[in-house]
Structures are given as structure tokens and as C-alpha cells.
Amino acid sequence: MTAPGRVLAVCVSEQKGTAKQSTATIDLVVGHGVRGDAHAGPGHRQVSMLDVAAIDEMRAQGLDLEFGAFGENLVTEGLPLDTLGLGSELAIGETRLAVTQIGKTCHDPCAIFHTVGYCIMPERGVFLEVQTGGTVTPGDEVRLMRHVSRSAIQVALITVSDRSHRGEREDASGPALREYVEAEFGAHVALQIIVPDDHEAIVAALRDAVARRGIDLILTTGGTGCGPRDVTPEATRAVIEREVPGLAEHMRAQSLLKTPHAMLSRAVAGLVGRSLIINLPGSPKGAVESLASVEEAIPHAVDLLRGEVVDCGKRDAGV
């Protein structure tokens, strides 16, 4: 197990978009975050964390920065924050936290940006969800209880089914896909949910997955046919920024070798931010077989989205 780190500072702010102030102690509340902090509340982004090394890099540029200047709740040292993927778990005293987001998207320059000139939180920040509450103070030991490597492909699974959402039918496709991506890709499933065949519900689920910044691959299963409630492709197109038609075309072509019904599939695939979204059929067998047909292209797509490929030809040549 990785050697423990240490909490250097705990910080809170009374207003969103402003620097936080160091305090003597904070109280972490399950499902909420830091008691009394303006950013606390339900959702997956409850507590923010920065490593002191990132702050010191900015200080080395001549900036006079107090802890909390970038809106962080926790400043730590001695932890490999830049290697932690979604699902990693930390313990601070009696508290337990899980990593739920890497960095964030800033749509408008906040007070931090205007004051400092640059904000490191969008790229260097780690966001966590409180699993077990308690008090945290500077000097507390931080233990890494579960290390999910950031290099592992991070996956979100979204089952689209009215009946499964109502609890009338067990979801079989989501678990089948989970087993497959874990075995074949060595992936980590960061999110697995069931939503109804409803356009707005699907759009919201996709956007939530993308917002977690760290999820590489979003797989939907269900709602790709010609039925009146099959709206997954329309919801996906409302979210993606660029379509990747080759993936859907290849899946249909391979499925047509087994059934003529494959030509009725309206599945799409596309990109939004650094995430790849792929629509899959609703049956467990169809979902896994469709994903398997494009399996070889996915790791390369993830590398491209992460910016880890400079020359595709050299990669293909094994250079």
C-alpha cells in the first residue's frame, strides 16, 4: 500500500467562485460535503482537493498564494493525486472519500482566475464524494485505501429501459457489459445506472457522465430500434459534439452477418469533450457482441481523446 499522505490545510468559502479560507477544522457530511461550504450539496462533486506541489508550482512563478486560493477544500502532500482514477478511495481519520471527478470545466472566469491569472483546479483538481463523515484537521494522515489507476479506461454504463427502471425486469445488459469491459479492457466501471426510455432522462445521464471529466467511454444499452420509445440515438445526438459513424456502421455490418434485423438499428457513436459515447443494443448478447466487434479501435480512441497519441502511423507500426 502507498505510504500515507498528510492534510496540510482545510478550507471553506461562503460564496461560490471565490477563494476559500483556511480554517482549524472541517466537518465532512455524507451526501453533502463540507458543512458550511458554499459548494457543498448533493451530487458527486462534494469535496475538492489539490496537492501542495501544484500550488507550489504557481508560487514559484512569483504568486503570493494562500491555501484555498484555487477553491480547494483540502490541501494534501505525499499522495500520488495525479495517478488516482475514478473510484479510488481515501481515508482521513474516520472519514472515507471516493474520487468521482478529475478536474472540471470552467465556463466563465471566476474570481480566482481574475485574482491569480490562472486556475489549476480545472486540470489538477480532484473531486470526491463523502462516503463516511467525520472531522478533518490539518496534520491528519491520509491513507489510500483503494488505488484505481488513472491510466485504466474509465467506463460509464447506462442501461435505457422503462421496465428495468421501474423494477419490473432485472437489468442483464449492464452487468454483462461490465463483466466484458473489465475482462477485455482491464477497465474500471466508474458509473452504472438505469434510466427510462425518455429523451430528457437519457440526455441528463449522458451529460452527467461527461461532466465527471475522467470517464473515457460511455456505453448505452437499449433504445436503438424503431419502437416509439426508442430515443437513445436522438438523445445521444443532442449531447455529442462530433459523430464517429464508422463505429456504428461496423457494428451494424457485423450484426447483419447474423440477423437481417440489424439493419433496423439506429445506434450512433460520437465524441463530447474527452469522452466517447457508443450506443449498443438492449439485449445482453447483442450489446456484448456489438462492442466486441469494435473492441480493437477503442483503446486507440481513448489515447487520442486523452492526447496521448502524437503520430498514429508510428503507433500502428509499433514505434
**Structural domains counted in the chain:** 2
Residue 26: pLDDT band with limits 50, 70, 90 = very high
Which of 43-47, 89-93, 188-192 has the least mean pLDDT? Answer: 43-47
Strands (E), the chain: 5-12, 21-23, 26-29, 33-34, 47-51, 74-77, 89-92, 95-102, 126-132, 134-136, 141-146, 154-160, 188-195, 217-221, 242-243, 269-272, 275-280
Q: Which whole-number Å values give the CA distances from 267 to 104, 115, 119, 144, 280, in the listed order?
A: 29, 46, 39, 40, 7
Which residues on neighbouring strands pair with residue 89, listed in sequence order? 98, 146
Q: Which whole-number Å values give the CA distances from 87 to 11, 67, 292, 306, in the listed order?
A: 24, 26, 25, 19
Q: Are 184 and 128 members of one domain?
A: no
Torsions phi, psi for 235 (to 5 deg): -65, -40
In a domain, 27, yes or no: yes
In a domain, 84, yes or no: yes
Q: Are 60 and 99 members of one domain?
A: yes
Q: Are 177 and 297 members of one domain?
A: yes
Q: Are 117 and 209 members of one domain?
A: no
Q: Are 158 and 255 members of one domain?
A: yes
In a domain, 10, yes or no: yes
Q: Are 123 and 189 members of one domain?
A: no
pLDDT of residue 60: 84
Q: Are 254 and 283 members of one domain?
A: yes
Q: Are 133 and 229 members of one domain?
A: no
**Angle made by CA atoms 93, 94, 95, in degrees to the nearest 5:** 95
Residue with cell 452487468: 175
The secondary structure element, H or E, covering residue 55 is helix 52-59
Nearby residues of 246 by Cβ (< 8 Å), 6 or more positions away: none
Cβ-contact 84, 126 below 8 angstroms: yes
Residues 262-284 have pLDDT tens digits of: 999 999 999 999 999 999 999 99
Number of H helices, E strands in the chain: 11, 17
Q: Indicate whether 318 pLDDT > 50.
A: no
Residues 201-251 have pLDDT tens digits of: 999 999 999 988 889 999 999 999 999 999 999 999 999 999 999 999 999
What is the arithmetic mean of pLDDT over 42-59?
90
Q: Indicate whether 319 pLDDT > 50.
A: no
Q: Are 194 and 285 members of one domain?
A: yes
In a domain, 90, yes or no: yes
pTM: 0.85
Q: Are 54 and 161 members of one domain?
A: no
Q: Which of 146, 174, 194 is the last residue of a domain?
A: 146
In a domain, 178, yes or no: yes
Which of 44-58, 60-74, 111-125, 137-151 has the least mean pLDDT? Answer: 111-125
CA dist., res. 47 & res. 236, Å (int): 30
- The CATH number of whichever domain residue 63 belongs to comes to 2.40.33.20
In a domain, 316, yes or no: no
Q: Are 55 and 136 members of one domain?
A: yes
Q: Which of 146, 168, 197 is the last residue of a domain?
A: 146
In a domain, 312, yes or no: no
Look up the domain containing 56 and give its range. 5-146
pLDDT of residue 211: 87
Strand order in the sheet with 154-160: 188-195, 154-160, 217-221, 275-280, 269-272, 242-243
pLDDT of residue 272: 97
In a domain, 213, yes or no: yes
Cβ-contact 279, 159 below 8 angstroms: no
The pLDDT mean for the chain works out to 91
Q: Which of 146, 168, 194 is the last residue of a domain?
A: 146
- The CATH number of whichever domain residue 297 belongs to comes to 3.40.980.10
Residues 302-315 have pLDDT tens digits of: 999 999 765 555 54
What is the arithmetic mean of pLDDT over 145-171?
96
pLDDT of residue 124: 87
Q: Are 32 and 135 members of one domain?
A: yes
